[in-house]
Structure formats: structure tokens, C-alpha cells
Structure 1
Amino acid sequence: MTQHAFIKLMPKSTQQTITLAEIKDLFHYYKNITAKTGDQVNWNYGEAAFPYVMNERTHNDHTLLELVSNEDRYNHFYVGVKEENDEHIIFLSLPENATFGDKGKANEFCRFLAKKLQGQLHLFNGRIMYFYKR
């Protein structure tokens, strides 16, 4: 069964609109900061923290970012952007063949994106986390 998590960009978020290219840039930033952490502890943490390759896919006239891994504990998941009622929403979708490792990394990336953008995070388990000032 496909699972979804999403981040709503709120009026008090750092930005109210976002594109897939900006999300891609945020993932590159994430890779960069985790690699620097790995350098400090003399370990290749960048590869372990982000074991995915990003590809763009088109599905039902929507462009999605597919994160694919060749690692044994990971498979893939999708990231996309949609607009509903003048709100931009970032969604992460775990397909049926996603692993527990994919779900863990997707949760980690959700928290990172929501914290960086100061959005409202709706996790896979239905819980909501608020990273914007209320």
C-alpha cells in the first residue's frame, strides 16, 4: 500500500511557493552538510546519509523527483510538489515496494525539509509537526 507524507507551506513559512528544482537544491545542500559532518568524524557519512540518486520522472502530467538507491536496504521513493487552494504542498510517496530503510530516510528528509522551510509536516503515521511560528 502506498504511503504519503506531506509538508504544507504556511503563511509564516520562510517561503510560500517552491519548485522541484528548489527541492533538488535542498537535497544537494543536505548531501553537502552530511559530507562535512563525515569529514569531521573521518567517516564517509555523506553516502550513508543520502544513498540515493535523483531522477526526474513524469507521471500523470506531473513531474516527480524519484530517489533511487542501489544499496541493499533501500529501493526508491518519490518527491513532488502540488498546489491546492493557493497552498504549495511538498509530498513524499513510498510505493508498495519501498523498504523500511526508505521509510526511515523519507521521514528524515521530511523533517529536514519542514524544518528548513518552516512548514507544517504531516508524517506517514498521521501525526503533525509544526515548524513554523504560530
Structure 2
Amino acid sequence: MSLNAYIKLVPASEKQVISVEEVKDMLIYYRSITAKTGEQLSWGYSEAAFPYTIEEKEEADGDWFYLKGIDPRKNKYILIGVGAEKEAESEEKSNYIQVSLTDISTHGDKGKANEFCKFLASKLKGELHLFNGRVMYYYPKK
């Protein structure tokens, strides 16, 4: 059974709409800052922090992409997509990022997916709905 986590963009978020390309750019930024940490420590931290390649299939139509593990014994796949849902009490649509684990995803994938979700939610100041159903709020409260 696959698991899903969501980063919802709320009115207090940095952005109200996000594209797949922007999410990819944020993950590339994450990879670059972890590589810099590795350089400072004189350790290959970037491979441990981001052990994936960013891949996209033709049938995705720009709606989703996946992270493919470099070492298949430790990491397999994480799917990432964007979408919008209609709010129950109003006619407005709220946008979200969906992070999914497949049936063959490993525990390492789940740990990294949680890490990536927290990074994305903190950068966007969103509302993070974790795989276990808990919610973390990264946006400023009034």
C-alpha cells in the first residue's frame, strides 16, 4: 500500500501556486546546500543527504516526477507531484505538493521523504500533513 504526505499552501504561505519545475528547483537547491555542508566537513555528505536522481516520464505531462535511488539496496522511489483541491467551505482552490511512497519504497525512502517534506514545507511556509496523519504548521500564526 502506498503512503502519501501533503504540503498544503495556505493563505499565509510564501506562494499560493507552485509548479513541478519550482519543486524540482527547490530539491536541486537542497542538494547544493547539503553538498556545501559536505565540503565544509570534508565528507561526501551530498550522496548521503540526497541519494537520488530526478527523473521524469513522458506520461507525467509536467504534473509529477520521481526520485530514483542511486543505490537500489537502500533507496528505490519517491514520487512528487503538484495539484489543487477545492476548499469545502468556499469555492477557492488550494494548491498542494503530494509526496508518495510506492509499494516497493524502503524505510530509507520514507525517512528521506519526511526530510524533503519538512524542507519544502519550511521554505514555502506551508501546512505539512505527514505520512502518519500528523500535521506540522510552518506558516506564521496570527
- TM-score normalised to structure 1 length: 0.95
Partner in structure 2 of residue 25 of structure 1:
25
One-letter code of the match for 1:30? Answer: Y
Question: Aligned partners of 2:18, 2:80: CA distance in 1, in Å?
Answer: 12
- Which consecutive residues of structure 1, in runs of 5 or more, have no partner in the other structure? none
Range with bigger deviation, 28-37 or 66-75:
66-75
Q: Is the 8 A contact 1:119 1:132 kept in 2?
A: yes
Residue-pair matches, total: 134
Question: Aligned partners of 2:123, 2:6: CA distance in 1, in Å?
Answer: 14
Runs of 4+ in 1 over 3 A off after TM superposition: 58-62
State the shift of 1:56 in Å.
1.4
Question: Aligned partners of 1:50, 1:122: CA distance in 2, in Å?
Answer: 22
For the residue of structure 1 that corresponds to 2:67, the secondary structure is: strand
Question: Aligned partners of 1:4, 1:61: CA distance in 2, in Å?
Answer: 20
State the shift of 1:47 in Å.
1.2
For the residue of structure 1 that corresponds to 2:108, the secondary structure is: helix
Partner in structure 2 of residue 10 of structure 1:
10
Structure number with bigger Rg: 2
- Which consecutive residues of structure 2, in runs of 5 or more, have no partner in the other structure? 87-92
List aligned pairs for 1:31-110, cutoff 5 A: 31-57=31-57, 63-71=63-71, 72-85=73-86, 86-110=93-117
Range with bigger deviation, 118-127 or 63-72:
63-72
Question: Aligned partners of 1:133, 1:11: CA distance in 2, in Å?
Answer: 10
RMSD of aligned C-alpha atoms? 1.3
Distance 1:58 1:127, change over 3 A: farther
For the residue of structure 2 that corresponds to 1:68, the secondary structure is: strand
